Amino acid sequence: MQTHQIASFKANEIIRKCVHCGFCLATCPTYQLLGSELDSPRGRIYLVKSSLENNEFSKTSIKHLDRCLTCRSCETTCPSGVEYAKLMDIGRAFVEKKRPLWQKTARYCVRKLLTTPLLFNPIGLIAKHSNKQGEVIQPSASSKKVLLLGGCVQPALAPNINHSIKNILAKLGFEAIETPKNQCCGAIDQHLSAEQAAMIKIKANIDSWIAYDVEHIVSSASGCGLMVKDYASMFDAKDEYYQKAKIISAKTQDIAQFLSIQDLSKLNLEKANIAYHEPCTLQHGQQLAGLVNGILDSLGYYPAAVKDAHLCCGSAGTYSIFQPNLSKQLKTNKLNNLLASNPEIIVTANIGCLMHLQKGSKIPVKHWIELLDN
Ligand code: SF4
Ligand code: SF4
C-alpha cells in the first residue's frame, strides 16, 4: 500500500493540475443542491490541499468531504484532467484517522455487513428486489467460457440480473461462470477508506480469476466493473501483483461493452416503454456514456432523453446510508426527471442505483439486461 509520503506526492501532482477555472461546479450534484463552494469539486480540492499542508483535517473539512458522492461528474467536465477521485481517496484515508470513534464504528459495521455474505444474506431475504424468473438456458458444450462477476450484495438482492445474463450469453454461444458471493470486488472497503481490507480482497480476486484463463471478464454492476478496471492502478509497477492486475483489468468489460459487438437480433425482448438511468460509475467512471442507450435504441426501445442525466441519483455506494438527506433529494430529482416521459419501467445498470431508485418509485426498476431475457 502507499505510504503517506507517496500519497502526499501523488496528491500534490493532482492538485497542481487544477487551474481553478470552476467549470466543474456546474456539473457537481452537491454544489447544485447546496450552492456552497466547499461542497464543490474545486472547494474540496482546496480543503484537501490545505489539510495535507497543515497535517490537519477540521470537522468542517470532514463534513464537506463526506458530502462528496465520488460520482466523478467533475472528472468528466474538468478540462485539465484533474484525477479528482484519486485525490479524494488520499484525502479520505487521511481523514479516517481523525474520525470520532462512533463514526469509525458505524463505518466498520456497515462495511462488514455489506461485504460478508453470511451477514448480508438474511437482509437480502427481507429486502430482496426480485427472484430469478423463467427457465435456465443451458449453454452448448462448445460454448466459449466467460467469467461473470457475481458481486457480493447483488446475488442476494436481485439474482435475476446474472440469471438473465447467463441465459442471454448461452443463447449467444457463451457459457458464463459466475464468481462466488464471497469474492467482493473491494469497492465498499475502498470507498470507506479500509484500504488494507480492500487490498486483501483485490489480491485474492486476482489470484482466483487469473486461474480461469478466460478471454473476457464481464460485470453486470457498473460500480464493481469500475473497481476491477482500476485494479492495475492500485499497484506499484514493481509489485508482484502489478502484471496480473493489468491482465485482469484489461479483460474486464461491462456487460454493455460485451454485448455491443454481439448479434442480439435473436433475443426475445420484453416490450415496454422505458426510461434509462445511466449510473455515474458507467458514464463518468468507466467513461461509457451513451453505450447502453445506443444498444437500447438498436433494439427499438428509444428511451427519451433524461434531464440532468449526468447527475448522480444519490445512491453512490454507502452514501444513502451516511448522507440520507442529500441522497433523498437527489433521488427525488432523478425520479422526477426519469418519470417525465411516463415510462412503464425504469432501467439502469448498477445494483446500487436500482435498489435506491426502486425505494422511491411506484413503477418497477430493473437492470436493462433483464429486458433482453424474455
Ligand atoms: S465527485 Fe461528484 S459530488 Fe464529488 S465533487 Fe465531484 S461532482 Fe461533486
Ligand atoms: S477541477 Fe478541473 S474543472 Fe474544476 S476548477 Fe480545477 S481545473 Fe477547473
Q: Sign (positive/negative) of CA torsion 207, 211, 215, 219?
A: negative
Q: Tell me the C-alpha distance between 346 and 355, whole Å.
A: 12
Is the Cβ atom of 44 under 6 angstroms away from ligand 1? Answer: yes
Q: Whose CA is nearest to atom 8 of ligand 2?
A: 21
CA 364 to centroid of ligand 1, rounded, Å:
28
Is the Cβ atom of 41 under 6 angstroms away from ligand 1? Answer: yes
Q: How many residues does the chain have?
A: 374
CA 91 to centroid of ligand 1, rounded, Å:
14
Q: Whose CA is nearest to atom 2 of ligand 1?
A: 71
For the entire predicted model, the pTM comes to 0.93
Burial of 270 (0-12, 13-18, 19+ CB in 10 A): middle
Q: Which residue is listed with cell 433524461?
A: 306
Of ligand 2's listed atoms, the one at least distance from the Cα of 42 is: 5
Q: Tell me the C-alpha distance between 72 and 94, whole Å.
A: 20
Using an 8 Å Cβ cutoff, are 255 and 369 in contact?
A: yes
**pLDDT tens per residue, range 156-184:** 999 999 999 999 999 999 999 999 877 89
pLDDT tens for the 374 residues of the chain, in order: 343 444 578 888 999 999 999 999 999 999 999 999 999 999 999 999 988 888 888 888 899 999 999 999 999 999 999 999 999 999 988 888 888 999 999 999 999 999 998 898 888 888 899 888 989 999 998 899 999 999 888 989 999 999 999 999 999 999 999 998 778 999 999 999 899 999 999 999 999 999 999 999 999 999 999 999 999 999 999 999 999 999 999 999 999 999 999 999 989 999 999 999 999 999 999 999 999 999 999 999 999 999 999 999 999 999 999 999 999 999 999 999 999 999 999 999 999 999 999 999 999 999 999 999 99
Is the Cβ atom of 82 under 6 angstroms away from ligand 1? Answer: no
Is the Cβ atom of 24 under 6 angstroms away from ligand 2? Answer: yes
CA 87 to centroid of ligand 2, rounded, Å:
13
Q: Which residue is listed with cell 442529500?
A: 326
Is the Cβ atom of 68 under 6 angstroms away from ligand 1? Answer: yes
> Which pLDDT belongs to residue 256?
98
CATH class of 144-259: alpha beta
Please work out, in degrees rounded to the nearest 5, the angle formed at the alpha carbon of residue 132 by the alpha carbons of 126 and 136.
155
Is the Cβ atom of 73 under 6 angstroms away from ligand 1? Answer: yes
Is the Cβ atom of 65 under 6 angstroms away from ligand 1? Answer: no
CA 67 to centroid of ligand 1, rounded, Å:
9
Please work out, in degrees rounded to the nearest 5, the angle formed at the alpha carbon of residue 134 by the alpha carbons of 181 and 170.
70
End-to-end Cα, the chain, rounded Å: 46
DSSP assignments along 334-354, one per residue: HHHHHHTT--SEEEES-HHHH
Contacts of 308 (CB under 8 A, 6+ apart): 333, 334, 337
**In CATH, what number does 4-96 get?**
1.10.1060.10
Is the Cβ atom of 22 under 6 angstroms away from ligand 2? Answer: yes
Is the Cβ atom of 28 under 6 angstroms away from ligand 1? Answer: yes
Is the Cβ atom of 84 under 6 angstroms away from ligand 1? Answer: yes
73 alpha carbon, closest ligand = 1
CA 74 to centroid of ligand 1, rounded, Å:
6
Is the Cβ atom of 47 under 6 angstroms away from ligand 1? Answer: no
